[in-house]
Amino acid sequence: MSTYVDRSSKGKIKISRPNKGQLKFRMLIIATILFTIAGFFMMDYKGLELWPAITGTLVNLRDMFLMPQLNQITLGSAIWQVIITLSLAFLSTILGAVISLFLAFGAAMNLSKPWVSQTIKTFITIVRAVPTVLWVLIFAIAAGLGSVAAIIGMVFHSIAYLVKAYSEAFEEIDEGKIEALRATGSNYFHILFHVVIPQTKSFLIAWTFLRFEINFGVAVAMGAAAGAGGIGYALFMSSGFYYDMNEVGMITYMILIVAILLEVVANKLKAAA
């Protein structure tokens, strides 16, 4: 076990050992490196011709990013598919944010009873540990593959994400202001809507829009994986069915432009708040 040596001004040498957190972090890094190396050795390389694979990849990248064009769909249809994907992300984010806001009041330690807070946090931790695509496939059993299952799955995971973010923002509020309002006889809802939300609105907006950006990326993936439609389905058809790398490149550029615009809007909203 390594140690840290600190020479003080009096000439004495102090030796301190790593704490538990530092040891766990080191073990995590070592395990990650070992699993990565093991993964390379466990991959099946049979039939792989390295040089043709490299040249083929370079050709595909050239076709995608240097010669992008739409061949199977029109520009108007592609823009409409992007709007559909944005709509899926927007709807799932709004529904998730409204539900999360009220659950976060119960999850925050300074606004709720300890057993209520722990129950909600345990539940959202379990939900958050399951990937969004798996929730979509679970709900697809009842609703069938499509936009309905995709939205429910994204809403479910958005709630688990935003409840954690909102509740942590609420817990950072100055406890003295809350106690002062309680001392004056203010009720619970007065404290929430006159102190808690006004003081954390910039954080709420920032976290909500961040989740919207995440849901846009998830909606693109769900278009292919769950048949939710939108630009994700067009991307899947271009790459897997038509194998049109030029169209894949154009669709990728369209998604990238939308992602950049969302980031710009997010920064503007955060600055305005």
Whether residues 181 and 248 fall in one domain? yes
Residue 89 lies in a domain: yes
Q: What is the domain extent for residue 25?
A: 1-39
End-to-end CA distance of the chain: 49
Whether residues 150 and 253 fall in one domain? yes
Whether residues 99 and 201 fall in one domain? yes
Low-confidence ranges of the chain (pLDDT < 70): 1-18, 226, 273
Residue 46 lies in a domain: no
Q: What confidence score (pLDDT) does residue 1 get? A: 46
Q: What confidence score (pLDDT) does residue 208 get? A: 92
Q: Confirm if 168 and 105 have CB atoms less than 8 A apart.
A: no
Cα–Cα distances (Å) from 196 to 11, 47, 139, in that order, read: 52, 61, 34
Distance CA 266, CA 272 (A): 10
Stated as kind and residue range, the H or E segment containing 20 is helix 20-42
Residue 65 lies in a domain: no
Q: Confirm if 192 and 111 have CB atoms less than 8 A apart.
A: yes
Whether residues 29 and 124 fall in one domain? no
Q: What confidence score (pLDDT) does residue 222 get? A: 85
pLDDT tens-digit series, residues 39-52? 878 877 777 777 88
What residues form DSSP beta bridges with 16? 4
Whether residues 151 and 228 fall in one domain? yes
Residue 64 lies in a domain: no
Q: What confidence score (pLDDT) does residue 178 get? A: 77
Number of domains in the chain: 2
Whether residues 33 and 141 fall in one domain? no
Distance CA 184, CA 179 (A): 9
Whether residues 18 and 112 fall in one domain? no
CATH of the domain at 237: 1.10.3720.10
Residue 60 lies in a domain: no
3-state DSSP assignment of residue 14: strand
Q: Confirm if 60 and 216 have CB atoms less than 8 A apart.
A: no
Whether residues 24 and 93 fall in one domain? no
